Structures are given as structure tokens and as C-alpha cells.
Structure 1
Amino acid sequence: MNSTSQKLSVTEKVGYSLGDLSANLIFQTLVTFLAFFYTDVYRIPAGSAATIIFIVGILGAFVFTPIMGLIADRTHTRWGKFRPWVLWTALPFGALSLLAFSTPNLGEQGKITYALATYSLLVLVYVANNLPYSALSGVLTGSMEQRNSLSSYRFVAVMVAQFIIQVLLLPLVLILGNGDKARGFQHTMALFAIVGTVFFLVTFFTTRERIVPTAGQNSSVREDLADLAKNRPWQIMLLVTVLIFVNLALKGGTYIYYFKYYLSEPTLASFLDQIGFNGLIAGLNRLLAGMGLTGFRWPQDAPTSAFSLFNALGIIFMIVGIGFSKRLADRFGKRDVFAGALFVSTLFLLAFYFYAPGAIGLIVVSYIFHGFFYGITIPLLWAMIADVADYSEWKNHRRATAIIFSAMLCGLKFGLSLGGALVAGILAHYGYSADLSVQSPEVVNGIRLTVSLFCSIPFLLGVVLMFFYKIDKSAELRIEHELGERRLAAGASA
């Protein structure tokens, strides 16, 4: 494999990270608000909406993703293997994002057909964009230190997108739609489509693939799959990816119940007043009204309002944690830092079980520390997956970057689906009823167990798996050095 300078400029790192910001403006909206949009805005029956989301999710995870991985690894253009897919899908991604959140009046069956068609096409184009984009991180540089830095830039952008969607999207929908949610979603997605398309083009024009396979290193699908079956680090990282995203779905799906049914509503309201949050929202609304705009529609009830603030603080401190990730990984190695930070973040999750309903300050502080230490792990997970591609090339003398990333993305989607199903399953097991404003002590205790112990189990299993992951700091340096020598030799003989 040919190789030139492995150092990435700040421009290239920022340019690459803008692609993830673009993709996550859409992905986070789909994960967080698609069901709400279908049922409450487009008025599709809930059962039909659930069926559409489930069927297309399965297609995306187990059909579109692996097929795209095989196609991307076999793409050959003057721009490389993966960069052209970012270019080719930029405009379709933006257009389909807008169409998927539009609300044509087609009658009930027509709406269902329209939703199924537009969501299916959007997920197909998302996979064709995001899988090559993710794999691109493995071929921009062979330097593991530079890869650590690139991942930090990338996941700061992801957290910015997550903050925009989880904290600001609904107020933005109400403002841009002047209170009309259907029009607001369409205008918001039009804005995201324009910004996303431009950012994808920036990603294409500012990046360059440096790890380029030589002509003699083509492989068959059977060889790629056989390499995966023998790749122990890949197997471990696949399990870790599933566990991480089980936790994220389980945690994210249960916190709202913790705020609504366990924490003291009067104490939450008092807390929001004491920290000046309610005054801040009132002042912002006066400013917007003075400009002739619709007010900032922050949730009015204390549990939902506090939960939104809770999410915002968590995301902010995850970004702070990401800022420490590269320096720690460069010094101690990705594996050890990942395992250590994941373990410490889990301790702050476990603490949630022991807090009284009025201990709002302690709960917020614990979540801040949990977010900080979990933030350290976020870029390392994907940098380690890129290292697994290096390990496969080092061991087998063949590189199959996209198929490795496609398997991890399958694990991600499976973990999200499993975690989401566990939320409903656990609530049902303890006897939760949405018709009751006050839940039984058994349900409340089940909610406390879920946000603490049950959410901690996947993270703790991930920490244990790291003891079997052999790519430590010394192995990273050895693999990087030997692959660098091979690539130089291949370049000299080409």
C-alpha cells in the first residue's frame, strides 16, 4: 500500500468532522423524533409507524449495511474508495431528508406508503453515505496518533449535532413553523438539508485517502469474511459496540421516567428557579418577541424541563471529555484509557440508585461526571475499530476497511434496537401503566434499577472484554511501524 505524509492538517480534521455533523443532524432526528413526527405530526397510526420504523431499521442494519460494505471496499476511482461516496450521496441525502419529513395529504394508506418509501430511500442513502464516511477515517492516515486526534474532532461534531437535536430541535420547529409543527419540521429539515449538503462537499474536497491498496491486494468476498472470522480484536470490538449502544438506548429511554415518576417535582421546579434557568428562558422569550419571532417553546412542566437541561449538561461535558481523549490515548494507549474511563463513568451511573428523590444537585453532578468520563471513550471506540482494520491488514496482508466498519454499524443498530426493546420490556415486567399518574413502588424501584444497575451491566461487560483485547499501546506502535514499512516498500516497487 502506498503512503505519503501521515500528518493531518487542522483543515482536514475539521473538514472530515463536518461530515459527521451533517449526518447526525439527520440521524439524531430519526432516532429521537421520527416516531413522534409520524404519529403526532403526519398523523399515521401508531402501529403502522412502528412497523415502518422496524422494517426499515432491519433492512438498514442487516441488508443495506453489509452490502454497502462489500461495494465500498471494491470501489476504485481517481478519488479513492470512500471519498466519492460522500460526494455522490450529498445531494440525494439532503433531498430525501426533506422529503421524509414532508407531509403531503395522501389519505391514510397513501401516507403510510409515502412514509415507507421515503424512509427506506433515506436509510439506503444514509448507509451509502455514512458507511464509506466512517471507513474513510481508517484510510486518511496510518498514524494511530493522528487517528486519535481525528476521532476527537469528529465526535465533538457529533456531540454538537446531538445537542442541536435533543435540546433545540423542537423549539426550532415551533419557531420556523410559527407554531405549526408540520411546516416547522419541513422548514427545519430544509435548513438541515442545505447545511448538510454543503458540509458533505467540504468533507470531500478537504480530505485525501493516503492508505491506498496496491493492485496485488484485491480479495474476494469469501476471503474478507474468512479474515473477519479469525480476527479476535474485531470480534471483541463488535461485542463492545453492541454493549455500548444497548446502554445508550436503555439509559436514554429510561431517564425521562426517572424524572417523571421518581424525582420530586416541587424540588425540580425549585432547582430550576434557584439556578436561574427559568429566568433565562423568560428573558430569551422577551428578546424573540421583541424581534417579532415566536417564543422559545421550552417544556413547561418541571420534570420535562429539567430533563432537557439534564441532557444538555450531559452533552456539554461529554464534549469536554472528548477534549482529553487524544492526549490520554497518546500517552497510555486507547485500550487502557477506554477501559479505565468506561469503568469510572459506570460508577457514576451506579450512584443513581442511592439518591433520594430530592437530591437533584447530586444527580446533576453525577451525570456531569458520568458524561465527562464517557466522553473520553467516545472517539476511542471508533479509533479502535480503525485499528482493527490495521490489525487485519497486518495479519492477513489484505485490507478490508469498509466490511469491518459495516459489521460494527450492524452491531450499533442491533444494540440500539435491543436496548430500546429492553426499556419497554423492563417497564412491562415491573407493571408500568401509562394511564397512571403515580406508579406503584415496584415500578419506581424498577426504574431506579434500570437507570443505575441495569444500565451499568453493559458497560461493565465492555470493561471486562478489554482484558481480552490485545491491541495495547505497544501493539499499536508495532503494527503502525510494520505496516508503514510495508507500504513504503510497496510504493517503491510500484
Structure 2
Amino acid sequence: MSDSSEKISIVEKIGYSLGDLAANLIFQTLMAFIAFFYTDLYKIPPTTASAIIFFGGMFGAFFNPVMGMIADRTNTRWGKFRPWVLWTSIPFGLSAILAFTTPNFGMTGKIIYALVTYIFLVLIYSANNLPYASLSGVMTGDMKERNSISSYRFTAVMIAQFIIQVFLLPLALIMGDGDRALGFEKVMMTFAITGTIFFIITFLTTKERIIPSVEQSSSVKQDLSDLFKNKPWIMMCGVVIFIFVTVSLKGGMYVYYFEDFINNQNLDNFLSDIGFYGFIDGLNNMFVGMGLHGFQWPKEVATSGYSLFNALATIFMIVGITFSKRLADKYGKRDVFKYGVLISALFQLSFIFCSPQAIGLIFLIQVLHGLSYGVTIPLLWAMIADVADYSEVVNNRRATAIIFSAMIFGLKVGLSVGGALVAGILGWFGYAETIPVQSDLTVLGIKLSMSIIPAVTFFIAVGFLFFYEIDKNKEVEIEQELTRRRSTKVN
């Protein structure tokens, strides 16, 4: 098995990170808006939307191990994983456009169309993102370089998250001339074209340096057997599931939180007092002066509040990311991740004490939550790469893609359950998309989905980390052992 611990260039790190920016323009939209898109824009009942998100997502989740086995057995002159980033770039964009298009069918036709296009999207996502994630595990064997790559990568994730959570709703209103459904189609088309270009750049700028020995081979049965004997993998799979249940649930509920929970008048006063409207007026005037008369920030209080709420959280997540590598190098990825999630869970829980009028407190909690959670963001996939290294040490052969595919399986399960919970909880608590003011029961469901429920799922994720054995000392031990083995083979 060949290996290189050479320093990875900034160009390659940026090129690799653009792949995550491309994927997350779609992935973040799914997490934040798929339930809202189905219920409020495509007018599918909440319980039906919940079923589509769950069953469609689970279909994609079970495809991941299959894709992992395919990717591990792919051999081309470009490597195992890079070709898949290229091959799926155009289909990924096409699937995103179709999934967020609203053809004028009857209810049965809408349901069938939504289910088919959602399944298509999550299948293509797996075929693209699994090899992309696996690529980070074979670009270098150096743990510190791997942490650095993860920091670049998840800075790109935060940029995508900022674009989606801050600008998507305003852009949909602007590009659709007030028609959100049409606006979503136009925005997703823009994202699809941009993402395709970024995936091609990722393919062209990256290199696979850890190449399995020619003599390495294994059966599917052996792959699965090794996987289920790998305790760190089992623990990380649990972590991934509950992290993404939480992220998908709370992220998907934000738009309802601003539309139906927060007091509109208090929010309007808050935005005025902090100078938000003055800033927007200046921005609008600047665009008019540039001749861009169509680009005017929409005059909707909930949309403005939602955008600022997410903007502040994302900015402070990026601040948290800047501390991540240094903390992980000093204390180890596991401990930094564990305590970062624990602290962010406590902040999430504190939303239960916020009244609809407590706008300043709501924004402050979100800022603190973003800061503490941001520290954990680059570490998750770097920890999964460590699990692949652990598997190689124990089994004396590398199976990067099957490890990552199992984790992305957990991600898809979490995304499916979390997204389905958004629509399911709304349906359970009597949400009606056709009425301007929701019942007290519905508002309670929204509040619980922003506080107690996601805090509990975060706490469960922390619980798994107490049984994850790859701490700082184990990281060093694994790295040294693999370096020794690879240098011996080369010599």
C-alpha cells in the first residue's frame, strides 16, 4: 500500500472543499426546507410529506453500503473515488432541479412525483457524496493534514449553509417575483449549474495518495463482517444518526418557528432597533444605483428575521470552526467533539424558556449555540477517516469507502428521520398550511421541536461518544503504526 504524508497544498484543499460547497447547496436546502417546500409550496399534507421524506430517504440510505462496495472496487487511472465526483456532477444538478420543481398535477400525481424525484436525488447524492467523503481518507495519511483538510472542507459547508439559510428565501421571492414555488425552481437551477462546475474543479485539483496494495482483496461478506466487529464504527454510526436527526429537525423547524411562533411585531421592532432595516435600505439603494432594480430585499418580517437568525448562527459557527483544528490537535478529536455537542445541546434546550416576545434572548441563544456547535463541525468526517485507519490496523487491509458508506447511511437515516419528524410533528400537532394563524397546540409542537426534542437527540449522540475509544493517544498510536507498515512495504 502506497502512502504519502506530504503537505497538501492550499490549492488542493480549496479544490476539495468546493465539492462540499456544491453538495451542501443541495443538502442544506433539503435539511432546512424540504418539509416547508412540500407542505407550504407544493401543498402536500404534512403527514404525507413526512412519509415521503422518511421512506424516500431510507431508500437512499440503504443504497449507501452498496455504493461503498462499488467505490472500494472501482479502479481507474484517476483512482477509486475521484471519478465518481466527475461522473455524478451533472446528474446531481439535474436531480436537484427536478426535486424542487412543482408541476401542476392532482394530489396523487404530486405525491408520486415528489416521492420519485426525492428518491432520485438521494440516490445520486449517495453516488456522489460517498466517494467524495471517502476521498478525504486517501488524500493523506497525516492526521494533522487530515484535520486541516476537514477545516477547509467545513468552512465551505458553512458558506453553503450561510447562502441557503440566509439568502434562499429572499432569493426565491425575488427570482419568483413573489411566487416562492417558481423562485425555488430558479434558485435550484442556479445552484445546480454552480455545483456541477465546482465538482469538476474538485476532480481536477485533488489526488489520491493512499493506494491499496494490488494484492489486497476481500469479499463483500468479509467487508461486512469487519464492519460489524469494529466498535468505533458502531459508536460513530450512532453519533452520525442522532447528530443528523437533530440538525435536520431543528433546521427544518426554523422557518415555522419564525412564521408561526415568534411575535411578528416584536420581531419587527427588534430588527428596526438594531439597524437591520437601515442596512437593507442601503443595500437596496446600492443595487438600484447599479441598475439591479429587480434585486430588492423582500418586505417580510418573518423572512428577514429568519435570515438574520441564521446569518448570525452561521457566522459564529465559522468562528467555532477556526478553533477546531487547534483544539483537536491538543486534546484529540473525540473529546473536543463530545463536549462541543454537549454544550450546544444545552443551548438548544434553553429555547424552551423563550417566549414569542423574547427576540433578543432567542438571537443570543442561537449565537452561542452556533459558536459551540461550530467547533465540532470539521471533526466528524475526520473522525470517520480515523475509523477507517483503525479498521486497517486491526484487519491489515483498507476499506475506506465501506466505512464512509456506513456513516453516510447513518447520515441519510438521520436526515430522513429528522426531516420526517418536522412534517410528522406538525401534522401531529394539527398544523394547517392554509390558515394564517396556527392553533396553540401547533405552536407548542413547534416550540418543543426547537428545544426539548433536539436537545434529547443531541444528548443521545454524546452518550455514544463515551464508548468511542479513539482518543488523542489512540490517534497517535494508529498513525505511527500505519506509517511503519507503509514504509516497510515501500522499502
Q: Counterparts of 1:261-280 in structure 2 under 5 Å?
A: 262-280=261-279
1:387-420 deviation digits (Å, cap 9, x = unpaired): 0011001111121111111111111121222233
Q: Which moved more, 1:469-478 or 1:412-421?
A: 412-421
Q: 1:450 to 1:30 in 2, by over 3 A?
A: closer
Q: Which residue of 2 aligns with 1:78?
A: 77
Q: Which residue of 2 aligns with 1:478?
A: 477
Q: Which residue of 2 aligns with 1:59?
A: 59
Q: 1:256 to 1:71 in 2, by over 3 A?
A: same
Gaps of 5+ in 1: none
Q: 1:418 to 1:273 in 2, by over 3 A?
A: same
Residue-pair matches, total = 489
Aligned-partner Cα distance in 1 for 2:353–2:120: 46
Q: Which residue of 1 aligns with 2:367?
A: 368
SS of the residue corresponding to residue 376 of structure 2 reads helix
Q: Which residue of 1 aligns with 2:8?
A: 8
Per-residue deviation at 1:71?
0.2
| Residue type of the alignment partner of 1:451 | M
| Residue type of the alignment partner of 1:415 | G
Are the counterparts in 1 of residues 68 and 404 from structure 2 also a CA contact under 8 Å?
yes
| Residue type of the alignment partner of 1:61 | A
Q: Which residue of 2 aligns with 1:28?
A: 28
- Confirm whether residue 405 of structure 1 aligns to residue 404 of structure 2: yes
| Residue type of the alignment partner of 1:124 | L
Aligned-partner Cα distance in 1 for 2:346–2:323: 19
Q: Which has the higher contact order (CA 8 A, sep 6+)?
A: 2
Are the counterparts in 2 of residues 3 and 210 from structure 1 also a CA contact under 8 Å?
yes
Q: Which residue of 1 aligns with 2:296?
A: 296
TM-score, normalised with respect to structure 2: 0.90
Gaps of 5+ in 2: none
Q: 1:228 to 1:166 in 2, by over 3 A?
A: same
SS of the residue corresponding to residue 317 of structure 2 reads helix
Q: 1:109 to 1:246 in 2, by over 3 A?
A: closer
Per-residue deviation at 1:208?
0.8
Q: Which residue of 2 aligns with 1:161?
A: 160
| Residue type of the alignment partner of 1:94 | G
1:77-127 deviation digits (Å, cap 9, x = unpaired): 121110111122223323443454456678887776665555444333222
Q: Which residue of 2 aligns with 1:306?
A: 305
Q: Counterparts of 1:65-464 in structure 2 under 5 Å?
A: 65-101=64-100, 118-179=117-178, 184-260=183-259, 262-290=261-289, 291-298=291-298, 300-301=300-301, 303-424=302-423, 426=425, 437=437, 439-440=439-440, 447-464=446-463
Per-residue deviation at 1:37?
5.1
Q: 1:199 to 1:48 in 2, by over 3 A?
A: same
Aligned-partner Cα distance in 2 for 1:38–1:182: 10
Aligned-partner Cα distance in 2 for 1:194–1:257: 29
Are the counterparts in 2 of residues 281 and 298 from structure 1 also a CA contact under 8 Å?
no
Are the counterparts in 2 of residues 268 and 306 from structure 1 also a CA contact under 8 Å?
yes
Aligned-partner Cα distance in 2 for 1:448–1:115: 28
Are the counterparts in 2 of residues 351 and 366 from structure 1 also a CA contact under 8 Å?
yes
Are the counterparts in 1 of residues 153 and 378 from structure 2 also a CA contact under 8 Å?
yes
Per-residue deviation at 1:444?
5.2
Q: 1:270 to 1:318 in 2, by over 3 A?
A: same
Q: Which moved more, 1:380-389 or 1:177-186?
A: 177-186
Percentage identity across paired residues of the two chains: 59
| Residue type of the alignment partner of 1:19 | G
| Residue type of the alignment partner of 1:13 | K
1:316-357 deviation digits (Å, cap 9, x = unpaired): 111111111011101110011111211222222232223444
SS of the residue corresponding to residue 375 of structure 2 reads helix
TM-score, normalised with respect to structure 1: 0.89
Are the counterparts in 2 of residues 261 and 439 from structure 1 also a CA contact under 8 Å?
no
What do you get for the CA RMSD once the two structures are aligned?
2.9
Q: Which moved more, 1:289-298 or 1:341-350?
A: 289-298
Q: 1:350 to 1:175 in 2, by over 3 A?
A: closer
